[in-house]
Amino acid sequence: MEVASLKLKFGKIGVLMGGPSTEREISLKSGKAVYEILNEMGLDVIAIDIKTDDIKENSFLMKSKKIDCAFIALHGRFGEDGQIQTILDELKMPYTGSGVKASTLAMDKIASRKIFQEHGLSVPGYIILERSSFNSNQVVCSGLRLPWVVKPATHGSSIGLSIIDRSEDLDKALESAFSFDERILIEEYIEGRELTVGILEDRPLSVIEICPKKRFFDFQAKYEHGMTEYIVPAQVDEDIARQVQETALLAHRLLGCFGLSRVDIMLSRSNIPFVLEVNTIPGLTLTSLLPKAANAEGIDFGQLCLILLKLAYEKK
- Strand ranges (E), 113-272: 126-130, 148-152, 162-164, 183-188, 192-200, 203-212, 228-231, 260-268
How far is Cα 85 from Cα 83, in angstroms, rounded to an integer? 5
- Cis bond upstream, residue 212 (ω within 30): no
- Helix, strand, or coil (residue 251): helix
Distance CA 179, CA 196 (A): 27
Farthest-apart Cα atoms in the chain, separation:
65
In single-letter form, the type of residue at position 157 comes to S
With contact defined as beta carbons under 8 Å apart, do 252 and 278 qualify? yes
- Paired residues of 200 in beta bridges: 203, 260
Known catalytic residues? 23, 157, 223, 262, 264, 277, 279, 283
Asked if the peptide bond before residue 291 counts as cis, ω within 30 degrees of 0, the response is: no
Phi, psi of 161 (to 5 degrees): -95, 140
Report whether 315 contacts 202 (CB < 8 A).
no
Start-to-end CA span in the chain (Å):
21
